[in-house]
Structure 1
Amino acid sequence: MFIFVPPSEGKAVPTDAEPVISGSLVLPRLAPTRDALVTALIRLSRGPTAAALAALGLSEGQREELAYNQIIDKAPAAPAADVYRGVLYEALDLPGLRTQDPEAYRRAEDSVLVFSGLWGVLRPSDRIPYYRCSAGVKLPRVGSVTAVWRKALIGPLTELVDEHLVVDLRSTAYTGMWRPAARTVTVRVMHERMVGGVLKRSVVSHFNKATKGRLVRALLRAGAEPKTPEEFADALRDLGFRVEPGAAPGSFDVVVAEI
């Protein structure tokens, strides 16, 4: 089983560590693509400020993000598990697994892949610096990073995933980078609550991210190895999640009343 998750905009800033080595990251064949994108991002971030902010989808109040981007190739790097923050990662708590449940963390190393606009895909232990480059960004002389990764990932990632079940928890922005051919599960988190005496359900970003982090953590700790979408749904039910069939084959709704 492989579990695909998105990155997070919120990140910790590594300190006192060696810079990233692109060839040391998962799927080393992607190193030339990673290096080309890093070079293009540095060039953009060192250029005219207004143009760089616009290209990266940043506001004037986020100018400091450009300073980080300007030194990506020399900045300290740390495991992705420690760099990515945000609701999903707080709920997943990979650093906690590393110290409290090493076996579960080893499973995360084997199965969790973080999709990134700059790095393509990452294992939790892959060392990266602080950066700002989301999927959908267009870099000068390179173009859309999503399109770049769609081409670069098709061979190496397809070979890695092979016939394994893919649990695809990526946000929409990152699904275009690589699409599993088959044996894929998707999850929608539905927040259920009473409104004016009527039971209603809706998708709420905070509940969605937190619940996905919790269910990944639960699967890792349980050592679950589902091979089909049905086995995946059964594994979640065994772990106490309320799971219902979704609208499409291989899709499921996880219904929550509270986090």
Structure 2
Amino acid sequence: MRILLSPSETKSVGGSGDPLDLAALSLPALTDTRRSVADSLVAMCGDDPAGARSVLGLSDTLAEEVTLDARLWSSPTAPALSRYTGVLYDALDQASFTRATRSRAESRLWIGSALFGLLAAADPIPHYRLSAGTRLPGLGTLRSVWKPSLTAATADWADELVVDLRSGGYHQLGPVPGAVTVDVVTQYPDGTRKVVSHFSKHHKGLLARSLAISRAEMADVQSLLRVARRAGHTLEYTSATSLTMVTEP
């Protein structure tokens, strides 16, 4: 089973790992694309910091993000799961993992990335700033860069249960055929429902945690539903590749 998460704009800084080595990352078929994107980002941020702030959509107060991007190849690394912060990762609450639950989580969790495509939870990466909607010089849209190689790199996942919790922009970088997606809605006392926006990250983080640390083996949607419901989540079967998570206001 694989659970795909969105990354976050906010990330921890620093780390104790050696500088970025693309050969050390999972899905080695993505190495050439990763290098192209990284080289373009580093060159832009090193050669034209002011222009880079505009391309990356950063205010002057976030100028340090450009500096860190320019140092991408020399910055220390940390496991991807601890690099990303924010609402979803707060809900995932990895600090509370035991050795056993961390091992299960690291074997199941993957994180979408505009810079790296997809990362396994333990992959060592530096701090960086790049979002899915960015157009890097000489590369065009990141969707056009990533989609061919990313979808091809995950082709051998076809026989596994893949739960794709990525947001729209990161899902579009490389859809995984046959993956199960989850929509989050709030149901009100009168029975009406509304699609959850910001807090979708929180609820997806809670769901990801329940699935990632479970001792159960989940090979299909029905086994996933059993684990999620035992953990207290309200999940509805919409189709073979679509579920609805119902939350309270």
CA RMSD of aligned residues (A): 1.9
Q: Which residue identity does 2:183 align to in structure 1? A: R
How much has 1:199 moved relative to structure 2?
4.7
1:192 aligned residue: 187
Give CA-to-partner distance per residue, 1:116-170, whole Å, 9 cap, x none.
00011111111111100111211112222222111222332212x1310110100
Structure 2 length normalisation: TM-score? 0.91
Q: Distance in 1 between matches of 2:195 and 2:38?
A: 35
Aligned ranges for residues 135-174 of structure 1 at < 5 Å? 135-159=132-156, 161-174=157-170
Aligned to 1:257: 248
Cα deviation 1:74-111 (Å, max 9, x = unaligned): 011111111100111111123432xx2x2222222222
Which 5+ residue runs of structure 2 have no aligned equivalent? none
Q: Show structure 1 runs of 5+ residues with no match.
A: none
Partner of 1:55: 55
Residue of structure 1 aligned with 2:122, choices 100, 103, 125: 125
Question: Given the alignment of the two structures, is residue 207 of structure 1 paired with residue 199 of structure 2, yes or no?
Answer: yes
Which deviates the most, 59-68 or 200-209?
Answer: 200-209
- 2: CA distance between counterparts of 1:92 and 1:67? 29
SS at match of 2:10: coil
SS in structure 2 opposite 1:125? coil
- Cα contact 1:233–1:252 (8 A) shared by 2: no
SS at 2:110 equivalent: strand
After TM superposition, list the pairs within 5 Å mapping 1:176-191 onto structure 2. Answer: 176-182=172-178, 184-191=179-186
**What letter matches 2:45 in structure 1?**
S
Offset of residue 61 of structure 1: 3.1
User: Does the aligned pair in 1 maintain the 2:151–2:176 contact within 8 Å?
Assistant: no
Where does residue 236 of structure 2 map in the other structure?
A: 244
C-alpha separation in 2, matches of 1:185 and 1:230? 12
- The superposition leaves residues 26-76 of structure 1 with CA deviations (integer Å, 9 ceiling, x where unpaired) of 012322221221110011112334421222222333222111111000011
Answer with 18-27 or 149-158: which moved more.
Answer: 149-158
In the alignment, the residues of structure 2 paired with residue 16 and residue 109 of structure 1 have an alpha-carbon distance, to the nearest angstrom, of 19
Aligned to 1:87: 87
What is residue 219 of structure 2 aligned with on the other side?
Answer: 227
CA contact (8 A) 1:81 1:95 kept: no
- Shift in Å at residue 245 of structure 1? 3.1
Instruction: Give the Cα separation in 1 of the matches to 2:198 and 2:226.
Output: 24
Partner SS for 1:76: coil
Deviations 1:180-218 (A, max 9, x none): 222x21111222345xxx454323334311111111111
TM-score normalised per structure 1:
0.88
Structure-1 separation of matches of 2:115 and 2:49: 20
Q: Is the 8 A contact 2:17 2:124 kept in 1?
A: no
Bigger CA drift: 169-178 or 45-54?
45-54
1:74 aligns to 2:74 (yes or no): yes
The residue that corresponds to 1:6 in the other structure is 6
Q: Which moved more, 1:79-88 or 1:184-193?
A: 184-193
Cα contact 1:17–1:77 (8 A) shared by 2: yes
What is the CA–CA distance in structure 2 between the aligned matches of 1:124 and 1:143, rounded to whole Å? 28
